[in-house]
Amino acid sequence: MAHDLRDDLELVGGDYYFDDDDDFHDGFQTGSGGSSGLQHEQMDDTSALDYKEGKDIQGIPWERLNYSRDQYRKMRLKEYKNYQNLTRSRSGLEQECKQLERKDTFYDFQSSTRSVKSTIVHFQLRNLLWATSKHDVYLVQNYSVMHWSPLHQRGREVLNVAGQLTPTENVKGAGRLSRVQISTMALKDNLMVAGGFQGELICMYIDKPGVAFCTNLTGNNNSITNTVDIYQAPNGATRVTAANNDCVVRTFDTERYSLLTQFTFPWSVNNTSVSPDGKLLAVLGDSSDCLLADSQSGREIATLRGHLDYSFASAWHPDGRVLATGNQDATCRLWDVRNLSESLAVLPGRIGAVRGLRFSPDGRFLAAAEAADFVHVYDAAAGYAGAEQEVDLFGEVAGAAFSPDGEALFVSVADRTYGGVLEFRRRRSYGYLDSCFF
């Protein structure tokens, strides 16, 4: 389960010190690092050059701490408690998991910053990071959604939900909200959608001031909005889905924010995703089974069986043929929609639940984020288990996201002391440059 790394890692000497004062103001973290950790050198960002010269990608000063990196990794693997809702037998699961054929590096470390840090409201929900370009990253921090520019190394607030929110669109169902704890978010093109801890839904365009639409979906403070999604319907229209603990998946249009459909399922829905052609709806929740349904009628088409616990993540390959699902049984399963009788591959995690899944826009890679410490990047062209890059870090993972061109991979670490945003750039081999003369 989640805890701050500072609970384990202690300084053993030197001029560094911790500051326990809260230095947050209006959603911005001050340059001093605030309550989240070390002052002075440790709070510096890390560049690719720093990393090549031996600095930790998160800036963790192992030489001044009570553990070496290897010692702490062994301890974390042994002591980290993966949260499970179901106590089913795991016998046979290891035999199902595909064995990794080779380690590889698809994305090289570029930089890390502590200027912005994600805040996790619910420990099971981790869709809190999105990228609209390799220079534009959005993440949840306290009562704000922040924009981070890796190019300019600057952050700014794009949405503050600490006070009252008043929708700019005068449409049916819209209402004021106040002091929203953002539990999940999605961003596509300029449209950003966020869900709240008490059933809220917020829609805004990041290139326009104000919130276009906001409402409470359930009227029940216990019906947290677990997931939101933005997709294109078969007719080309943009749709928004939201799923809650009340077992209902709701779909809205983005012109008048009209409620188009609401489908009820047998259990709380933790995650949904719509296929690239807009026809299939993947529904995952408080069940070991996952469902495929018709996105327009809600009619159940297939039940996907194989996971052993509750599921919280899914993603579609851009070609629409493969669906990835992530589960608290610490696996990611891949399903071929042309044959759903069994999963085509089972990819194991290292430390805990698979809580985040994203395909690169070209479909070449699948990023699977565990609850903490590991993000796996699988090569789809090599059969996923044929080649994998393992991003090894420390702390709770708030999200992982590819840039739309697939050239950048961003990982958000929510640890108060050593958290921040890590940037990786796709490794390219430009052999033709060897024959150029300058």
**Residues near 434 by Cβ (< 8 Å), separated by ≥ 6?**
none
Higher pLDDT, 44 or 38: 44
pLDDT at 266 over 70: yes
Taking the C-alpha atoms of residue 146 and residue 291, their distance in angstroms, rounded to an integer, is 34
Q: How many domains does the chain have?
A: 1
With respect to residue 1, please indicate whether it lies within any of the assigned structural domains.
no
pLDDT at 19 over 90: no
Amino acid at 72: Y
90-104, 302-316, 396-410: the lowest-pLDDT one: 90-104
Per-residue pLDDT reduced to its tens digit, 397-435? 999 999 999 999 999 999 988 999 999 999 987 554 444
With respect to residue 163, please indicate whether it lies within any of the assigned structural domains.
yes
How confident is residue 94, by pLDDT bands cut at 50, 70 and 90?
confident
Q: What's the whole-number mean pLDDT along residues 146-160?
A: 95
In this predicted structure, what is the pLDDT of residue 8? 80
Task: Report the 10 Å Cβ neighbour count for 362.
Answer: 11
Taking the C-alpha atoms of residue 79 and residue 74, their distance in angstroms, rounded to an integer, is 9
Contact 423, 150 (CB under 8 A): yes
How confident is residue 147, by pLDDT bands cut at 50, 70 and 90?
very high
CATH number for the domain spanning 378: value is 2.130.10.10
With respect to residue 332, please indicate whether it lies within any of the assigned structural domains.
yes
How confident is residue 10, by pLDDT bands cut at 50, 70 and 90?
confident
With respect to residue 335, please indicate whether it lies within any of the assigned structural domains.
yes
With respect to residue 187, please indicate whether it lies within any of the assigned structural domains.
yes
pLDDT averaged over every residue in the chain: 88
pLDDT at 436 over 80: no
> What's the Cα-to-Cα distance from 234 to each of 283, 298, 426, rounded to whole Å?
19, 15, 32
pLDDT at 39 over 70: no
How confident is residue 30, by pLDDT bands cut at 50, 70 and 90?
very low
With respect to residue 220, please indicate whether it lies within any of the assigned structural domains.
yes
Give which of 111, 145, 115, 112 is closest to 127, Cα–Cα: 145
Taking the C-alpha atoms of residue 23 and residue 208, their distance in angstroms, rounded to an integer, is 29
SS3 assignment for the chain: CCCCHHHCCCECCCCCCEECCCCEECCEECCCCHHHEECHHHHCCEEHHHHHCCCCCCCCCHHHECCCHHHHHHHHHHHCCCCCCCCCCCCCHHHHCCCCCCECCCEEEEEEECCCCCCCCCCCCCCCEEEEECCEEEEEECCEEEEEECCCCEEEEEEECCCEECECCCCCCCCCEECCCEEEEEEECCEEEEEECCCEEEEEECCCCCECEEEECCCCCCCCEEEEEEEECCCCCEEEEEEECCCEEEEEECCCCCEEEEEECCCCEEEEEECCCCCEEEEEECCCCEEEEECCCCCEEEEECCCCCCEEEEEECCCCCEEEEEECCCEEEEEECCECCCCCEEEECCCCCEEEEEECCCCCEEEEEECEEEEEEEEHHHCEEEEEEEEEEEEEEEEEEECCCCCEEEEEECCCCCCEEEEEEECCCCHHHHHCCC
pLDDT at 25 over 60: no
Per-residue pLDDT reduced to its tens digit, 186-230? 999 999 999 999 999 999 999 999 999 999 999 877 789 999 999
pLDDT at 27 over 60: no
Place of tokens 């999605």: 186
**Residues near 431 by Cβ (< 8 Å), separated by ≥ 6?**
none
Per-residue pLDDT reduced to its tens digit, 273-295? 999 999 999 999 999 999 999 99
Domain that holds residue 179: 70-426
